[in-house]
Structure 1
Amino acid sequence: MDSGCTQHMISDSRMFTSLIGDVENYDKITFGDNSKGKVEGLGKIEISSEYSINNVLLVDSLNFNLLSVGQLCDLGFQCLFKPNEVIVSKIDGGEVVFKGFRHNNLYLVNFNSKNANLQACLFSKNSMGWLWHRRLGHVGMNTLKKVMKKDLVCGLKDITFEKDKLCSACQAGKQVANTHPSKTFISTSRPLELLHMDLFGPTTYTSIGGNNYGFVIVDDFSRYTWVYFLEDKTEVAHVFSKFAKRAQNEFNTSIVKIRSDNGREFDNTNIEEYCDEVGIKHEFSATYTPQQNGVVERKNTTLITLARSMLDEYGTSEKFWAEAINTACYASNRLYSHRLLDKTPYELLNGRKPNILYFWVFGVFNNATGMVEETYDVEFDESNGSQGAHVDVVNIDEEPLVEAMKNMPIGDIKPKEDEDEVQTNDQPSSSMAPQDGSEQDKILPNEDVHVRQEQIDEQAQDVGTPVQAPQVAPQRRSQLTSGHPKELIIGSPTKGVTTRSRNTAAFVQAYSFVSSIEPSTIDQALSDPDWVNAMHEELNNFTRNEVWTLEARPKGARVIGTKWVFRNKQDDEGNIVRNKARLVAKGYSQVEGIDFGETFAPVARLEAIRFLLAYASHHDTKLYQMDVKSAFLNGYINELVYVEQPPSFEDPNHPNHVYRLSKALYGLKQAPRAWYERLRDFLIEKGFTIGRVDTTLFIKKTDNDLFVCQVYVDDIIFGSTNEEYCTEFGKMMAKEFEMSMIGELTFFLGFQIKQLREGTFIYQEKYTRDLLKRFKMDDCKPIETPMATNIKLDPDESGIKVDQTLYRSMIGSLLYLCASRPDIMFSVCLYARFQADPKESHLTAVKRILRYLKHTPSIGLWYPKGVSFELLGYTDSDFAGCRVERKSTSGGCYLLGCSLVSWSSKKQNCVSLSTAEAEYIAAGSSCAQLLYMKQTLKDYGVELTRIPLLCDNESAVKLTNNPVQHSRTKHIDICHHFIRDHAAKGDILLRNVGEQLADIFTKPLDESNFCRLRSELNVLDARMIM
């Protein structure tokens, strides 16, 4: 307060409830040091729910907000200055309006709590109405007014609720789009007659209970809501079965129907078998039609906006998102009245009014330790925390929290108070849901879950939550569909809980809790809480797996350095799902024979993955995937190895100590082998056998059922003709290793995999689009074939040189794409021959492939069900196609029934003197591939003899079946007669064919023939399949 100041003045325009920017009648303000400040506006500021101050100047360069004593007196107030405080009261009646305090010989006024931000010192809403608004999860004023007026709860009496205002936390958290009209009738007649269910997640921050998913259940009749927080969405079936049993016993009535969307967590055999067993009808909403599941969708909207406001008010960490949702659900079950029955969900379900006297404001915890303590003797500081970070202003666009939203393409957004009614219509909203569920007067921990002392139990309260003990779960980033609008992000728009991804035609990208920037240094990572959490998670894995022991540094011992590596993990849509921090050893400093011995470890070939997919599709077997968390940390090492302590995480008591390893560490040369041997020994101990030729394939046969497991380092694909074996395998692995059960196989090694009723589709559309974007060809002109029919490339000695790195990068990227795109195999392999000295003509040819990919980004392999499973090969060769060495190109493709699982295009090692010789050499290579596949089929329990190999050169066929020697064949190297031996044994049957499918791997074709062969190989566009 300033008695020498002629008028109130502040420097922050956000503090005004109304502001006039065009002020010409005011001169510049002169400060005490004779400096001047420009008057930029004049407006009004509210100091309470009843009082406001007019004629407040907005002054540039003002360091402190000044409250004019003279202007207060002119408004009918009097100021009493005491040694330690100042009291401002009304002249008429002496009613105290506010008080100030003395500090450093200045009288200051803070209209907020003692902890409030002084920049917001001209704003306060501490009336009882606003306090209850904040205590009850920031529900709408209309709801509070209605609840009190109709006497629907106990403990809410004689309170004035200001309907026409919003607190700033609500302005930041409750931005919603217009809704659809509500229904005017009730579809059900009693509780549990119809339950609406939805799943949201994975959330991008793991909750303090270790969960990343929320399973929401809403009763159609009462609108009572339960939410269960899960670590993995595969727990839905188990949780629902326990919920159903307990709910039916507790409320003494039966569940008739449940309604959900078509997500795999609901549309699966576990839920259907349970529903069939207990007589529950399961209804599904139509695809892409969230309106049909609108009850739970609308409930999600309500709860998310409340949770966002609660988190925003005190700036509470997003890791408490589950607690905020649980609190919002707990409050809404006791406050929101049914618009047709005029009762709260709690009363409709339990038959009595809820008591809310024990409610306190959400968000108060121990800032010093971050720990939550449960205690009875405690005082709650319910000061208006939201005003420390926000100022209530008329223009929501000026709110600091939402400034980041200004450039977001989310359509028209307008601030509005949350709807007070629980709609009874089925209307679209979002799938971010919460829960309460307790009839208790206090949120109690659930006895089914054991957590650390400092953790809050986030589980549903009314019906027990049958979930596993919390673990550090992967952080996920996903996307919002048209049925899940942007306003449902908890927290600020730049970091929020996002909903489960759905495969809809139209979607908008959601911001997430994970960091999108990969740090290049440890200092950068330490400045980002997301990466700090990732590093702590990695070190927790070391402790959990007992990887090392801290010891004094041995004299003369070799100590290997360590470093942090940071990577963002993405899903099949390219969304960042996890920030992964990996502590690795500097293995390049190891010495063979001292620090390591054998290092070889097998990994699955890509064709082995396709083989398994084809087998599973033919036998109508569902494949699943899981990965081992920090797999290398499970492998035992035999050598004595010391490593330095992790950078920036040294033991403060022993900073010079080193770690002695008992298990492998990422970066060590022997780490892959140590992990493979640990996994191999474990699976063999459990009764599995290793594949004859593929040592990453593990098989277990029981009666007529077969279980197959394919391993690629720490990623595991598995499936069985008996679904129960998959469940048992998951439990078995989880007991031995820390697993991440990803669920149904959808994305593996860059493959996007769709397991459909008619078959399996494998494609790399995301990789293709990323490749085009990386090489700046995403806007190129499409073309129908990857290469011209008249192309005759040579070294082009006089051509213009191009960037070797760019050219090789293109070739390498395209070679990986060939794993699901056999249609570009020949062109890529042909152009790869010029990587040593690429010219402009070669680069132009490669860009034509990219133009073709622009035309066909979603082409992939189709493995249909219900067809034969015979092994068949095609072999072909051109003649002297290489213009430099005049060598021929061998091509081949190999099918299991109609499923193309392997193919090749390779320049031969020698010059052939005739087309027969070239075809004969190609047939020998194809024979070797078929024998490999024959051995693999034995592991799957399939015995084959006389495998057909089709060739379009009759001379080559006769040369194989009739080993004659004459002047035109005697020079052929003995190694190429390999096929003769196996033809004589009956392993291979080489036959002549008129229609050669392998032509696509040996020569350029015109558009008509190219598209025909591509189609006959079942290389199809995703739009034809899905």
Structure 2
Amino acid sequence: MTSTRAVSPPVQVTVADDRTINVDTVGTLCLDTLVYLHNSKFTRRIYISNVYIVPGLSVTLLSLAKLIQAGNTVRFEDNLWTVTRGKRRCPVLQAFEHNGVYAVATPEHQFRTAVVHAFAAAVQHESLMQAHRRLGHLNYDDCRHLALGTAVTDVNIARGPAPGKCTACALAKATIAHAPSRRTTDTTAAAAVCHVDLSGLVAKSYHGSLYYMVAVWRGYVKVYGLKTKNDATARTNDFLRFIERQASVPVSEIKVIRTDGGTEFRNQDFRRLVGAEGVRHQHTTRYRSRQNGVAERAIRTLTEMAAAMMIEARLPHYLWEDALQHAAYIRNRVPKRGQSQSPHQHLFGSTPNLSKLPVFGQSMAVRTPEEVRRKHFRFYGRGAVGAFVGFNEDTKGYKVYVPGYGRPIKETTDVIVLDTLLYDEIVLDDDASPPPEGGGEDDHQADELVDEAAIALPSSNGRDPSRMRDVTAILRDTSLPKAVVDAANGTPALTDRRRSERISAREITTSFLCLAELIREPLNMVEARRSPQWEQWRQAITVEIAALKANNPFTLIDLPPGAHVLNNTVQFRLKTGPDGKIVQYKARVCARGDLQIYMVDYIETHAPVADLVCVRVFFVLAAKLQTTIRQGDVPAAHLKADVKETIYVRQVKEFEEPGQEHKVWELNKALYGLKQAGRQRNIEIDNYLRGYGLKPSNGDACLYHMLIGGGLLLVCLYVDDILVAHTDQEQVLRLMTGLSMSSRISCFAAVSNTIT
């Protein structure tokens, strides 16, 4: 009560039990009420005048008639009535029906209700948090619906306020905060941020770079190739100096440099750089590189552009850095969506001119400098064909990739732009005049080889990069003269040659490619199971394991405690005959030598293998001396050699010994894949050949020779194959018999095909 006054004479008041009480005091009541409006809760303070103070009455009673007479409006809704006042009908008091009586909502009433509900929950029902935990941390709403519905019984949840966040749920159900779909800073603040990011590791570029870095400011992108990540600080400094000297916008407009959290940016040198420049360094949180989304998007855009250009041009992969820089050159001169100026014009104030922009990879006739031509190419043409790979902003000219002699990338202005890409087609001139008289035998041989290579070159009907790579591989592997390689690469031929009389057979290349793709050698056991030839491969594995057991290279034992054990892998190979048909499906069980520990599983590993030049020398000598040649094969060659170390290898999965799946192999002899297997095998054969009287040559330890029976006995070793040659076939048979008995070399026969 805020104020009271006496009433004379006293007023008689009749209460519910028919008692009459004399009231002699009237006052003004200050009442705090709770009003619920639009799903929100408000507290109102109202003053009610002419309130009778009745001694002994434990509750306060309000008369609706008196409230209406005082100018208020009363509205009834379901179990609620609301008292409003004024033109806006603002609610000032609300009462809820309870047991036939309307009770005014007050803060004290709410507190008492919460206490009662909590007490009732403790006595009769479980709390919402208890139900949440008992039901496997089910969300609160589903817990309530479960208690109110009929899907289950005896789930009683007490009414009351919702509990706070569950700590266990917060830890177990933590999610990634979604990145904003729109910029969260205004345009002015965003224009002051320079975004820098690094990407790699990539195969080494022509310029020696393994990584590349992009710096983005106001839409302008600059690409830098990096040899190491530590170069990021220096390249960032170069970008700031570039903007300072070249841009019409002052570098002081850069207020923030934003990077990811990599150590190439979070180091002392980078902190010293940003400190000297007076800019802030912002970095992303861990594993949240999208916080630097501008740089991330620039990397993706440039990478996709460069990849598309490289695919179309079919240039070597080591030109990726030039493709990236050319992509950045183009993006800087193209306005973004919704803008009328390009980033280059906005930053430097000049309108770019793209009228002389060639297609990346477009053919260009490049003039050879006179000084170089006189020294190396005096009788060639004055130019060479190359491919456009971009502009150098530090040099006034084109960057042109010219395969062949000298440095492949040349910077020059002496070019003639052609209408095709460099590798659109490869055409060897068949209309040239015959070679001049007196030409040497080597020139004629090179001319014939060029004719043969022309058959394997791709046709001009399509652009298949795989075919182009196949041609390059053919030219490389066959060690043709440089004239042939230059001709295939598009450089001028060394000599004029006669018109080829051979039938053009460019379709043969495609046919061979199709045959090669019919059956593919699996790379691992998973691919073998998915292969249509799985039954053949499974049989090959069974045969291989049976061969292993026949040679007794291992013993099945329980793995000793603490012993180091190696895993195994299976290699698959198709063995073909001279006509290219499949002769045998072969599987080879190998130990995982990459898991061997030095000084535990092995010590020395070197094993000599005959060089291809040595093999060619063997055949040259055999042909010159008109000898008989026999080729021997060592079945399971490495399994014949003993091992000194104790090595344990697991059994092949799904091919274990029944009932002994838990056991491992203790190797008695070497196994394919071991680091020392080749060495041990070579030592055994070398000891026998030296004991026979053969001596290794000084040029190659795998080529043995011996004068016997009036002729030269030659032996060449190549892994598990051996070649024997002598003019007297009896000498060959004698050595073959000895090798068969000592090293179990078999399958001696005439040479059908070789690796050369």
TM-score if structure 1 supplies the norm length? Answer: 0.22
Structure 1 or 2, whichever has the larger Rg, is 2
TM-score if structure 2 supplies the norm length? Answer: 0.30
Bigger share in strand: 2
